[in-house]
Amino acid sequence: MKNTYGNNLTLTLFGESHGKAIGAVLDGIAAGIAVDEAFINSQLSKRRAADEISTARKEADEVKILSGVFNGHTTGTPICFVIENNDTKSKDYSDTYGKARPGHADYTAFVKYGGNEDFRGGGHFSGRITAPIVAAGALVISALRNKGIYIGTHIKECAGVPDRAFSDLYADVTAVNEKSFAVLDENKGEKMRENILKAKEEGDSVGGILETAVIGIPAGAGEPWFDSVESMLSHGLFSIPAVKGVEFGAGFAFADMKGSEANDSFVANDRNITTVTNNNGGINGGITNGMPILFSCVVKPTPSIVKPQQTVDFIKGENVTLSVKGRHDPCIVHRARVVVDSIAALTLADLLVGRYGTDYLKD
């Protein structure tokens, strides 16, 4: 099992959903970067379960930094983040062991690890493991902001309800970063919440689309071919549980465009080069062009639902019907947005450090 992401700046994950703790080790970070623990906790609060539209499992997600930080700054050595699991109900899973929950990794994990996997709550495959990603990502997000680079994600669509599009990017990114339910149009947000609760009442779940903007990133980051900005971001984004699709800029809408419509014309203003449109999402040839990076992720409906589903008991080799019990989210889109921000920050910081050196992120 490989659990490390990144080239120059790496993140290694550990722990299971119902184990003693989960955590991450961030390595390759420069010395002298300020560590704002209050900001880390505020980022974790965006991922935390919220009222009736989230799981009833309530974890405080209080992060402990065990190494790599001294006197409020990074030391240059690996930083270890640990978050304890305190609100677990493992019996909810022991009663159904061997029955593959549709949409989950129960069967594939059993096949790969020969029955030695920790199956409780999805074990190492659980969305719970995204909490330390957010903790590590918060440190990097803060460092990027000091370089004038800002990342923000809004719920572009959820439960069939669309949010308004990004317009004034700086204002919109600033606004959504202050919200627990990250929409640009509050009325649309209320309708989304209504539809989430309706699905919950029906014993079902819903998904959605997250749209992310990165502003202030310089031109020239990224490598052609295998380490392109799109390749690296996609690698990280598809590692988030439930993300099943990623597009950059106009994305699949390119299929209905002509070249004259799709191309972004360049203009120069006092040696500052920009493009008139941004259909390519700030990336040309796998390299940033200085325009905002824009991408979207599709998040599938939460697979744990009360409605009866056909499945198999892979221990007995029998067909069975399963209704998933326990505490689950009717929607995870609103909680996933800060995970997307964190992956984007870690990926882009890795690419920037690769181009400008390890001290790029220093204050």
By C-alpha distance, which of 338, 363, 278 is closest to 130?
A: 338
pLDDT at 88 over 70: no
Output the pTM of the full model: 0.94
CA angle 296, 232, 220 (to 5 degrees): 95
Structural domains present in the chain? 4-361 (3.60.150.10)
**CA 323 to the chain's CA centroid:** 28
Reported confidence tier of residue 87, pLDDT bands at 50, 70, 90: low
Mean confidence (pLDDT) of the chain: 93
pLDDT at 182 over 90: yes
Q: Measured between alpha carbons, how far is residue 24 from residues 21, 45, 46, 62, 336 in Å? A: 10, 18, 18, 14, 18
Predicted pLDDT of residue 97: 86
By C-alpha distance, which of 360, 345, 347 is closest to 222?
A: 347
Predicted pLDDT of residue 325: 74
Residue of 151 and 2 predicted with greater confidence? 151
Query: Do the beta carbons of residue 135 and residue 83 sit within 8 Å?
Result: yes
187-225: per-residue pLDDT in tens?
999 999 999 999 999 999 999 999 999 999 999 999 999
Residue range 160-183: mean pLDDT, rounded: 97
Task: Give residue for tokens 């955590």.
Answer: 23
Point out the least confidently predicted range of 1-10, 121-130, 175-184, 250-259: 121-130
Number of other residues whose CB lies within 10 A of the CB of residue 66: 13
Query: Do the beta carbons of residue 24 and residue 132 sit within 8 Å?
Result: yes
By C-alpha distance, which of 161, 165, 166, 164 is closest to 193?
A: 161
C-alpha–C-alpha distance, residues 109 and 125, integer Å: 9
By C-alpha distance, which of 55, 61, 49 is closest to 23?
A: 61
DSSP 235: H
Give the 3-state secondary structure of residue 209. Answer: strand
Dihedrals phi, psi of 251, to nearest 5 degrees = 60, -130
pLDDT at 294 over 70: yes
C-alpha–C-alpha distance, residues 116 and 189, integer Å: 42
CA angle 338, 158, 237 (to 5 degrees): 40
- Dihedral (CA of 116, 118, 122, 123) sign: negative
pLDDT at 159 over 80: yes
Predicted pLDDT of residue 122: 83
State the first-to-last Cα distance of the chain, in angstroms, to the nearest integer. 35
pLDDT at 251 over 80: yes
Question: 191: which 2 tokens?
Answer: 């309708």
C-alpha–C-alpha distance, residues 57 and 38, integer Å: 23
C-alpha–C-alpha distance, residues 232 and 229, integer Å: 5
Predicted pLDDT of residue 118: 86
C-alpha–C-alpha distance, residues 29 and 54, integer Å: 34
Point out the least confidently predicted range of 44-58, 102-116, 119-133: 44-58
Residue range 17-30: mean pLDDT, rounded: 94
Kindly write down the DSSP assignment for every residue of 129-168, as one continuous string.
GHHHHHHHHHHHHHHHHTTT-EEEEEEEEETTEEPPPP-S
305-324: per-residue pLDDT in tens?
888 999 999 999 999 998 88
